[in-house]
Amino acid sequence: MDSVTPFIVLSAILFTIGAVGVLTRRNAIVVFMCVELMLNASNLALVAFAKQHGNLDGQIAAFFVMVVAAAEVVVGLAIIMTIFRTRRSASVDDASLLKY
Amino acid sequence: MFALHEGGHVPVVDPTAADGVFSLAWLVIALPLAGAAILLVGGAIAPKRFAAFGHVLGTLLPIGSFAISLAMFLSLLGRDEGDRQVVQHVYDWIDVGGLHVGMDLLYDPLTALFLLLITGVGSLIHVYSIGYMAHDPRRVRFFGYLNLFVAAMLTLVMAENYLGLFLGWEGVGLASYLLIGFWQHKHSAAAAAKKAFVINRVGDMGLSAAIMLAFATWGSTSFTVISANADGASEKTMTALGLLLLLGACGKSAQVPLQAWLLDAMEGPTPVSALIHAATMVTAGVYLITRSNFVFERAPDAQTVVVIVATVTLLWGAVIGCAKDDIKKALAGSTMSQIGYMMLGAGLGVAGYAFAIFHLLTHGFFKANMFLGAGSVMHGMDDDVNMRHYGALRAMMPVTFLTFAMGYLAIIGFPGFSGFWSKDKIIEVALAENWVVGACALLGAGITGFYMTRLMLMTFFGEKRWAKDVHPHESPAVMTYPLIVLAALSVLGGLMLAGGWIQDFLSPVVGEEVEHDPPIPALAVTGLAVLIVAVGVTIAIMLVGRRDVPREAPQDVSFVTRAARADVYGDAINDELVVKPGRALTGGLLVFDRSVVDGLFSGGALTVGGVGALVRRAQNGFVRSYALSLLGGVLLVVLALLAVNLA
């Protein structure tokens, strides 16, 4: 077993937990945290592969993901706040008016 | 089938540039054209002011054209025989790529005779119309149309190339449409105008295809170029060209199978009938074939078709003429038949061209005379055209009667009158070329004798059959003087044959007269023709003159009479062969369009809409279901990549 394999396995586990969380949880905040978990799982994978290949490409990509995630958190939390203010609910299933 | 003549030799068109009086050639067309423009525009802007002098202006301009034509004719006579073709370049008409067409006017003996006929007889008809249309509120417009008609016909016969000829050809078609339908408030007149226009269109298609073929073959539409290089084309090309030209000629000259419009064209005012039937329009087909002699002399098959068409038409028209009670329609049938004689002459080639033109000229005189005479009779009979309501008019209208009688004697070919000489020559040539055709021409002459005598007897002789409130009277002098002039021409027109003048005069265009050995001597042919005409006249006297003419047409008549009354079923044939299949085709196309074409489009739209209605259910608004489909998609892509990589 290579030295990076445990990191990849961990990354996969984290990603799966995040994905299952996104699909099963109704609370928008929790869904949001699960999304963050998936992003960090992918960051871990990127960094692990960067170490395996011996260059910095993956690490730089991880920084980009972090920056995008931070920006996304700002916008996402603001939307969740606004929805909660108008509907008194943070359930993603309640915000289902935009449909066919 | 027909043992026709050997291909004769025709001269090439080789004109010199116009000078002297010939440089006025363009004015011959320009004068009536200007008249048409002034009268039609002015008459629309200031109707009252133009009503005062419009008819005078409209008459003087064609007379001016006649004066120029006469001066040019005399000047042409003064030239050597080999130098009698003149061309005037007026302006560059079309100059696109390989197509160079000049507005060139050709003046040669053939055109010279046509100009004299068109402007001369045309002017007389204009003068006559002053009286005939005196009470019509739209007289100015009528004269505008007449001038347009004359200008178009002059363009037709003066053009030096087929395209210019086509311009005049279409102009004649337009003007005839406007004039036949002049009394447009009458449904029958409007329908007749449309019919003439549509049937002429079929012929025009043939002519335009012929022009394209000529351009494709020689790269030019000029008579000069084509006649000089005519030997370069194959006989197949020439035959195709000849047949297409014949189709065009059939339309304008009302030859079978495009004859049906001619009888309905009688809906127009009578001077129009005279103009269409005598001086212009129907003569255009004969002109076209004579002018294209360099084509037909190299296409004997096409010539044979011309002869067949002409023979059928001359009998067809004669039969129609026998049964019509409408005086104008009887004369129209006669025109069809006489044009058949001219086409026959033209179809016989070098031996017949000159006589075709000769008959065209004499026919122009006597038929204009008789049409205007018929108009004069109608004028006195409150516009009644039914000959069964006439009778014994000779005492009431002495001038009309006498002038009409001159036309009558001319058309039946009474010895010494113009029609005698011209028709006799065509019969003679026809007999020499082929005895079947000659026999048909002789038979036609006999039928001519019959129907013209019948017309004469029913109109001017016998008992009075007028309605009580009709008071027949002689027409005013402005109408009778043209009749007298035309009657004189009908009598004396035969002088053109004296000493073979017309053959010699036309020889630079249509070739030297060929010697033919008739199976029977010329004198015997003449005697036979006179005898057959006499038989026809006698039968008419026995059947019509010796009995009372009923005011109502009897219905228990023979099959032949019924057929003749129905124009030998010309309309019925057109209906069955063209109109009904055409309607069925359009009906079928409509059904096809509605079911198949529309079905394809609306079916496609419906399918897309239905699928969309189903698929949009996926947009249910639940974020988590979107997330699931996203995940599913990613998994699919990853699995696919793995499958590809591992495979």
Question: Residues B437-460: what's their mean pLDDT?
Answer: 92
Domain count, chain A: 1
pLDDT of B598-608, one tens digit each? 999 999 999 99
Cβ contacts of residue B243 below 8 Å, gap of 6+?
A: B206, B302, B305
Type of residue at B127: V
Q: Can you say whether the dihedral through the CA atoms of B408, B315, B421, B294 is positive or negative?
A: positive
* Residue A93 resides in a domain: no
The rounded distance, in Å, linking the Cα atoms of B511 and B10 is 5
Question: pLDDT tens digit string along A32-49?
Answer: 999 999 999 999 999 999
Could you read off the pLDDT of B220-239 as tens digits, one per residue? 899 999 999 888 888 899 99
Contact B619 A99 (CB under 8 A): yes
Q: Which pLDDT value is given to residue B396?
A: 86
A97 in any annotated domain: no
Closest-approach residue (CA) in chain A for B629: A23
The conformation of residue B222, written as its DSSP 8-state character, comes to: B
Establish if B638 touches chain A: CB-CB under 8 angstroms.
Answer: no
- Choose among B617, B622, B628: nearest Cβ to A93: B622
Q: Where are the alpha helices (DSSP H) in B182-275?
A: 187-218, 223-228, 235-253, 261-264, 270-274
For the stretch B341-389, pLDDT in tens is 999 999 998 888 999 999 999 999 999 999 999 999 998 888 888 888 8
Measured over all CA atoms, what is the biggest interatomic distance in chain B, rounded to whole angstroms? 119
Give pLDDT, residue B401: 93
Contacts of A93 in chain B (CB under 8 A): 622, 624
Q: In chain B, which residue's Cα lies nearest the Cα of A24?
A: B624
* B623 lies within 8 A of chain A by CB: yes
From the list B617, B620, B627, the residue facing A22 with the nearest CB is B627
Residues B5-42 have pLDDT tens digits of: 444 567 888 888 888 888 899 999 999 999 999 999 99
What number is the average pLDDT over the span B488-503?
A: 88
Share of residues in chain B with pLDDT > 70 (%): 98
Residue A2, pLDDT > 70, answer: no
Is residue A94 in some structural domain? no
What tokens appear for A75 in the block?
A: 């916008």
User: Is the pLDDT confidence value at B202 over 50?
Assistant: yes
Q: Which amino acid is at B337?
A: S
- Please provide the DSSP assignment of B288-315 as one string: HHHHTHHHHTT-HHHHHHHHHHHHHHHH
Does the beta-carbon distance from A100 to B616 stay under 8 Å? yes
- Give CA–CA dist B595/B586, Å, rounded: 14
Alpha-carbon distance of B341 to B282, in angstroms, equals: 13
Closest B-chain CA to A26: B624
CA distances from B395 to B408, B472, B570 (A): 17, 10, 38
DSSP letter string over B413-434? T-TTSHHHHHHHHHHHHHHHH-
Question: 3-state DSSP call for residue B563?
Answer: helix
Residue-wise pLDDT tens digits, B146-201: 999 999 999 999 999 999 999 999 999 999 999 999 998 999 999 999 999 999 99
Say which residues have a Cβ less than 8 Å from residue B424's Cβ, sequence separation at least 6.
B413, B525, B526, B529
Tokens 């070329």 belong to B433
pLDDT at B2 > cutoff 80 = no
Query: How far is A100 from chain B, CA to nearest CA, in Å?
Result: 6
Torsion on CA atoms B230, B236, B242, B246, rounded to nearest 10: -170
Residue B228 sits at φ, ψ, to 5 deg, of -75, -35
Q: Where are the domains of chain B?
A: 575-646
Nearest residue to B173 via CA among B155, B144, B153:
B153
| Rounded CA separation B475/B473 (Å) | 6
Query: What radius of gyration, in Å, describes the C-alpha atoms of chain A?
Result: 17
What's the pLDDT score for residue B516? 62
Rounded to whole angstroms, the Cα distance separating B238 from B476 reads: 52
Q: Which of A19, A31, A98 sits opposite B621 (nearest CB)?
A: A98
3-state secondary structure of B101: strand
CA distances from B465 to B202, B306, B546 (A): 42, 43, 15
Which residues of chain B are within 8 Å of residue A23 when distances are taken between CB atoms?
624, 627-628, 631
Report residue B118's pLDDT band, with 50, 70 and 90 as the boundaries: very high
Q: Are B250 and B309 in contact (CB under 8 A)?
A: yes
Is B444:B313 a contact under the CB 8 Å cutoff? no
Residue B473 has pLDDT above 60, yes or no: yes
Helix (H, G, I), strand (E, B) or coil at B157: helix
- Mean pLDDT check: name the lowest of B52-56, B286-290, B304-308: B52-56
What lies within 8 Å, CB to CB, of B619 at 6+ separation is A99, A100
SS3 B89: strand
Q: Does B645 touch chain A (CB under 8 A)?
A: no
Give me the CATH number covering residue A83: 1.10.287.3510
CA distances from B424 to B97, B132, B228, B499, B527 (A): 50, 34, 33, 16, 10
The runs of H, that is alpha helices, within B324-434 are 327-347, 353-380, 398-412, 418-433
pLDDT surpassing 60 at residue B1: no
Q: Is B627 on the interface with A (CB under 8 A)?
A: yes
Contact between chains at B622 and A23 (C-beta distance less than 8 A): no
Q: Comparing C-alpha atoms, which of B498, B529, B293 is closest to residue B429?
A: B529
Q: Which residues of B touch A79 (CB under 8 A)?
A: none
- Per-residue pLDDT averaged across B328-344, rounded? 93
Nearest beta carbon to residue A97 from set B621, B624, B631: B621
Question: Which of B616, B617, B621 shows the shortest C-beta gap to A96?
Answer: B621
User: Which among A19, A22, A96 has the least Cβ separation from residue B622?
Assistant: A96
3-class DSSP assignment, residue B95: strand
Decide the pairing of beta strands B86-96 and B16-17: parallel
Give the phi and the psi of residue B93 in degrees, each rounded to 5: -90, -60
- Here the ipTM equals 0.87
Cis omega before residue B508 (within 30°)? no
Chain B hits for A95, CB-CB cut-off 8 Å, are: 621, 623
Mean pLDDT for chain B overall: 89
Instruction: Render A23-38 in DSSP notation, one character per residue.
Output: HH--BHHHHHHHHHHH
Instruction: State both tokens at B324.
Output: 């019509």
How does residue B3 score in pLDDT terms, banded at 50, 70 and 90? very low
Sequence-distant (≥ 6) Cβ neighbours of residue B459 within 8 angstroms: B327, B377, B387, B390, B391, B393, B404
Per-residue confidence at A95, pLDDT binned at 50, 70, 90?
confident
**pLDDT reported for residue B385:** 86
Q: Can you tell me the distance from the alpha carbon of B598 to that of B563, in angstroms, rounded to the nearest whole number?
A: 46
Contact predicate B212/B166, CB 8 Å:
no
Distance CA B89, CA B315 (A): 43
Residues spanned by the domain of A47: 5-87
User: Residue B301 has what pLDDT?
Assistant: 92
Closest CA–CA distance from residue B600 to any residue of chain A (Å): 28
Q: Which of A83, A96, A98 to mutate to test the interface with B (most CBs of B within 10 A)?
A: A96
Residue B519 has pLDDT above 80, yes or no: no
pLDDT tops 90 at residue B309: yes
Lowest mean pLDDT segment, chosen from B263-277, B476-490, B549-563: B549-563
Q: Inspect the interface and report whether the beta carbons of A100 and B627 lie closer than 8 Å.
A: no
| Partners of residue B619 in chain A, C-beta under 8 Å | 99-100
Is residue B330 scored above 60 in pLDDT? yes
Residue A7 confidence (pLDDT): 93
Q: Which residue has the tokens 């958190």?
A: A73
Pairwise CA distance, residues B272 & B147, whole Å: 11
- Cβ-Cβ contacts under 8 Å, B628 against chain A: 23
Q: Among residues A24, A26, A22, which one has the least CA distance to residue A34?
A: A22
Confidence at residue B7, expressed as pLDDT on a 0 to 100 scale:
47
B residues 591-620 near A, CB within 8 Å? Answer: 616-617, 619-620
